[in-house]
Amino acid sequence: MSANKRTDLIQNALPLFYENGFHATGMDLVAKETGVSKTSIYKHFRTKEELILAVLRLRDERFRNWLYRRMEELSATPQGQMLAMFDILKEWFEQDGFQGCLFIKASAEFQSKDHPINAQAFAHKQLLTDHLAKLAAKAGYPHPDVLARKLIILKEGAIVMAAMSHNSSSASEAKEVAQVLLST
């Protein structure tokens, strides 16, 4: 399988896992929906879990690039960017097809802390936390790591509530709490 076909497979598998879950999406469905034979899939990915890890890496890259770019578009200041994150979440929650966070789903389906998929899901959240900590440090907050962790907890809670309630209001509610955190 060429690099382009491998990339296409990963890109086409992403929405399947997002919509159906990881365990519920079998390799027969991946082959059928992507148009790539199971033999070809297994030439590039020894296991379904390897494909899932590749999908998570792609989603991580796309999501962080989108989020950080939008944060910078909405505010020129570090504090403003941290608050803008919640406005961006609201945008995401209101998109057609929003079904929560792929990384939260991965962690829920692969719960062992030693499982590579769980570790990959947590790594995504840690990269987001690290970015928020850098912004908090630039903004001059005394404990940027602590603040970043609190903001990520708000962000994650907003995502879960939006997915469960099918309502985007949790983004605005989380932003209100974030404003209190950022003003202290």
Alpha-helix runs per DSSP H in the chain: 3-20, 27-34, 38-44, 48-74, 78-93, 102-109, 116-138, 144-165, 169-183
pLDDT digits (tens, 9 = 90+) for 2-31: 668 889 999 999 999 999 999 999 999 999
On the question of pLDDT at 48 being above 60, the answer is yes
Local confidence band at 109 (pLDDT 50, 70, 90 cut-offs): very high
- The amino acid present at 144, given as its one-letter code, is P
Q: What is the CA radius of gyration of the chain?
A: 18
Domain edges within the chain: 56-183
pLDDT digits (tens, 9 = 90+) for 54-68: 999 999 999 999 999
So what's the pLDDT on residue 4?
A: 83
CATH numeric code, 56-183: 1.10.357.10
Distance CA 175, CA 86 (A): 5
So what's the pLDDT on residue 121?
A: 98
